[in-house]
């Protein structure tokens, strides 16, 4: 597993390496999308009280999860297999 605090997640999206990626977004963090892309497998989870989306796209298999009290959603696109799931008390919002 690769773990990031929101402030340390790379600008733009992160290329999948076959590992699971978890991003902790504390309350008060600026709204953004945390993305994982590419042809290798790997899932991304965005969790916490801060706002933001989880996005998994590309040819590789993997999921996008958004959990916690922060606002945001989960998205999955591309030809790879996987799900997008939202769990927790936050509201679903569009990117700002």
pLDDT digits (tens, 9 = 90+) for 10-36: 998 999 999 999 999 999 999 999 999
Q: How far is CA 45 from CA 33, 63, 68, in A?
A: 11, 8, 10
- H helices present in 1-96, as ranges: none
- Both tokens of 13, joined, read 């999206």
Mean pLDDT of 33-42: 97
Q: Could you tell me the CA-to-CA distances from 85 to 7, 11, 47 in Å, in that order? A: 23, 23, 12
Is pLDDT of 39 > 90? yes
Q: Which residue from 73, 75, 68, 69 is spatially nearest to 86, judged by alpha carbons?
A: 73
């Amino acid at each position: 597993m690769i773990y990031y605090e929101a402030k340390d997640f790379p600008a733009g999206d992160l290329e999948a390496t076959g590992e699971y990626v978890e991003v902790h977004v504390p309350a008060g963090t600026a709204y953004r999308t945390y993305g994982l892309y590419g042809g290798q497998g790997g899932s991304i989870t965005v969790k916490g009280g801060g706002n933001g989306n989880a996005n998994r796209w590309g040819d590789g298999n993997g999921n996008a999860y958004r959990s916690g009290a922060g606002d945001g959603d989960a998205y999955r696109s591309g030809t790879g297999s996987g799900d997008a799931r939202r769990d927790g008390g936050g509201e679903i919002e569009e990117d700002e």
